[in-house]
Chains A and B, each alone.
Chain A
């Protein structure tokens, strides 16, 4: 049985068990903790030698597959706020298209990889530290804080939100909001999707819950809907502008992550949530530290291929 597979766009031969195993591990974590694996997948791909631009673009393609079935399932359950989703999507498409152009320009300058890495260091550092502190507080209090009620809006925040133009009612979510907010939020997630190759759910979900105060069941379905279409846009744009989408890599990751997610979801019912969260936080922080070191330690060779590879 052949153990290596050649990735035609990455132009790199990789060990088949490593790539599928990577997908499996990230899927397992995704299933265990209920978080998206995108923010872990790209840095791990970079660590096994996939050029960062290809890793980010192919991960977006993988997320298309992963979020497609989820979106459909939530659509059937009536959990998708299409009106909110469309606003988020418009922002996401604009942001994603802008992000792809940022990558294209930075590739020409030779700093696309640096941007991807530094964005990851910041985001992983933020997410890892937040998860670690939250889980530690949960363990000390003897219960999980993850189910805490949304924070109260400050009056200044309320005034700001209510003062925005074009206040619109979102029936499915039961809120009144200016479309400017989902447009901006979608745009930000679109840029991150292009730069980092992530779906953006790990930013979108808490913002929808805590800032927009949308019901949780609608949040997940709407977030998946927006992530699906944003990643479709990013995949097509990356393939067209940067030629960095390796769909062979995406499919291999999908196979691994789907199996991993199923096992993770089953395991998660048997394990303590806060302990698992601390473990994930440590893992995220470890990946962040590894990436940070790669940016601040002198490289083995000052010369590298232009544009990542």
Chain B
């Protein structure tokens, strides 16, 4: 009997240790983002951001990038006589400035992601749309098309690459090129492990996109010191005109 108790205790201990080890190993897995901050400076055109991490071997991973939520006002065009002009408004609360879904390759991951509650279906439920002009679903589709045309909303297939499994884990890497119309703010990056059609562990971290240097200075000035900025713009233009006039001894034009 004592032996049986001992055996039971040993099994429980082993089981708890295994659970603890699993928990420990998932806790220590972190996403690595390169670069850590995306700076939008004078010569910014697009910024490649690389995301890497680990999942258990045999698992796949889906990576989501969501920009800062913004309450946006939109104009809705309609036909007035022969012209297309603004006829209505729409307000969208909680829509991220950017949304990217990076999928592995090889299977029908669009459908899988949707069935797992990831992707645009989930966004559709999160965003609050107010407009009397059109049904919310139609407006959402237009909104997604608008964002896709700017490269700010995207679903990319075959976007994840895996390294060979090691110690029961395999490393994944993905990259996304932030487009030139990227908004500044805090972005959320989430990696969801997927195995046998079910969601596994989620790893997430935040990532900053910031306007820096001269552009930040100009934007701050134009926003907070509007009159000073206007006068400065005129002074700079007059100076530039004088320099150009001196260089070319221009007679000028208008």
Contacts and interface: CB of A to CB of B under 8 A. Distances in A.
B44 A250 contact: no
A245 B222 contact: yes
Contact of B72 (A63, A239, A296, A306): A306
A2 B237 contact: no
A30 B214 CA distance: 31
Contact of A250 (B223, B226, B233, B244): B233
Contacts of A262: 248, 250
A70 B250 contact: yes
A101 B237 CA distance: 23
B85 A111 contact: yes
A64 B237 contact: yes
A160 B76 CA distance: 47
B44 A305 contact: no
B89 A306 contact: yes
Most central of B183, B236, B242 by chain A CB within 10 Å: B236
A238 B250 contact: no
Given A254-B240, A296-B82, A303-B139, A6 B41 contact: yes
Given A67-B254, A239-B233, A114 B242 contact: no
A114 B244 contact: no
Given A11-B181, A69-B244, A306-B73, A235 B233 contact: yes
Given A36-B253, A65-B240, A9 B245 contact: no
Interface stretch (B118-126, B143-151, B153-161): B143-151
B5 interface: no
B210 interface: no
A151 interface: no
A254 B251 contact: no
Nearest to B84: A299
Contacts of B229: 239, 245
Contact of A8 (B90, B142, B222, B246): B222
A125 interface: no
A296 B146 CA distance: 20
Contacts of A254: 237, 240-241, 244
A74 B216 CA distance: 39
Contacts of A38: 254
List of 10 A-B pairs having minimum Cβ-Cβ separation, nearest first: A70-B252, A69-B245, A239-B230, A4-B45, A13-B180, A68-B241, A2-B43, A110-B86, A65-B241, A236-B230
19 contacts: A2-B43, A61-B234, A63-B254, A70-B250, A73-B249, A74-B252, A111-B85, A111-B86, A114-B85, A237-B230, A238-B230, A239-B233, A240-B227, A245-B222, A247-B237, A250-B237, A258-B248, A298-B84, A303-B77
